[in-house]
Structure 1
Amino acid sequence: MPFEPKHKVELDPPKDDVISQDYLSKCDGSNAEYPTYVAIKVCHDIPDCQPAGILTEGKGTVFDVSGNKSYGPEGGYKVFAGKDASRALAQSSLKPEDCRPDWQDLDDTSKKTLNDWYTYFSKRYNIKGKVEGATNT
């Protein structure tokens, strides 16, 4: 099955806590007092592109990636930490300026890529909540 982790991951039930933008920005992996979070949206506006097994509405879903050093201060994916990185993930970009929540103007291929990333994260990382005020439009 696509997107399955190599090793079984026991995930906690998803939470739907509201996480402020301010708190999310502190969860960038640079301070051990905070977890490391990445937020991702889901695009529902292209046919047959609903990520498998979505447990939330996908509006700024916050994943706890604390256990993965790739999202830490020295990691290759540190640019995503503490942000809604939807656009960057959709475009497979590591540019800081692409780490933002808007994705509506992207083509269907990029939107599908975003949904694939959502599915990937949802099979590996605990869902901690949703970004306060996040929408998918």
Structure 2
Amino acid sequence: LCSKYTVNTMFKYLVALLSFGLAIWTLPEWFSVGSCLLKPWLLQPTAGLLHQDVLALYNGNRSSEGLYLAILGQVFDVEKGRKHYGPDGGYRFFSGRDASRAFVTGDFSEAGLSDDVSDLSPSQIVALYDWLTFYEKEYTPVGRLIGRFYTERGEPTEALQQAEAHLTEGLKLKAQAEEENRVYPACNSEWSSAAGGRVWCSEKRKDCDSSNGCAPYS
């Protein structure tokens, strides 16, 4: 009985030892399989927040994960606009990055494709937010880009707050300009030796009537 017990115990230990050896031998293969399974999951945006190195994987190239771009730190899936943003598109340089500055400067060099908008004028910031509104309307939002405009927790940075302050200022200036154009619309003038000079406006001006010699209508 003792001998039988000893043989059974040794057999169990032998099986356990062989199983352990087999596990060690196949470990690299399991790591490889696990890596393949985990890669797509790791590349997915986490809680709507992306790092730049992840966004760069979505540049639309053949081996890329998709087609994204960011503007003012907000990321959009522009796959349906691949003819514009894909490798052969006219706006391919916007893909896989945040190149907010270039949307209003027109500088598409590598240096110009930047997210630094700190020195843009209020009117340029207004134009930039017009672009943001366009993407919000036409494309699917993916999340926020961690970096210049959003923190690791997805909170606005000082740079974004500064841009929003410039937006407010720019909108005020735009409203003032529109009011001035309404009160003082653009006028035209002409002069000839036969008829002399004449000034007329395409729309009625509040400061213009026959008493001051101005023709308020064309």
Q: If the length of structure 2 is used for normalisation, what is the TM-score?
A: 0.45
Task: Kindly provide the CA deviation profile for residues 44-76 of structure 1, in whole angstroms up to 9, marking residues without a partner as x.
Answer: xxxxxxxxxxxxxxxx00011011120000000
Contact 1:79/1:95 (CA < 8 Å) preserved in 2? no
Alignment correspondent of 2:96: 82
Rounded to whole Å, the distance in 1 between the matches of 2:47 and 2:132 is 16
Alignment correspondent of 1:67: 80
Structure 2 residue identity aligned to 1:66: E
Identity of aligned residues (%): 35
Task: Kindly provide the CA deviation profile for residues 59-96 of structure 1, in whole angstroms up to 9, marking residues without a partner as x.
Answer: x0001101112000000000100010110112234333
User: Aligned pair 1:31/2:62, yes or no?
Assistant: yes
Structure 1 stretches lacking a partner, 5+ long? 1-14, 42-59
Rounded to whole Å, the distance in 2 between the matches of 1:113 and 1:88 is 11
Alignment correspondent of 2:136: 122
Structure 1 residue identity aligned to 2:136: S
Query: Comparing both chains, which one has the higher relative contact order based on Cα–Cα distances under 8 Å and sequence gaps of 6 or more?
Result: 1
User: Aligned pair 1:95/2:99, yes or no?
Assistant: no
Rg larger in structure:
2
Q: CA deviation at 1:33?
A: 4.4
Q: CA deviation at 1:134?
A: 3.7
Rounded to whole Å, the distance in 1 between the matches of 2:62 and 2:49 is 21
Distance 1:95 1:70, change over 3 A: same
Alignment correspondent of 2:48: 17
Alignment correspondent of 1:10: none
Between Structure 1 and Structure 2, which shows a larger proportion of helix residues? 2
Structure 2 stretches lacking a partner, 5+ long? 1-45, 150-156, 160-218
| Count of equivalent residues | 105
Contact 1:16/1:130 (CA < 8 Å) preserved in 2? no
Alignment correspondent of 1:109: 123
Rounded to whole Å, the distance in 1 between the matches of 2:47 and 2:99 is 19
Moved over 4 A (4+): none
Alignment correspondent of 1:46: none
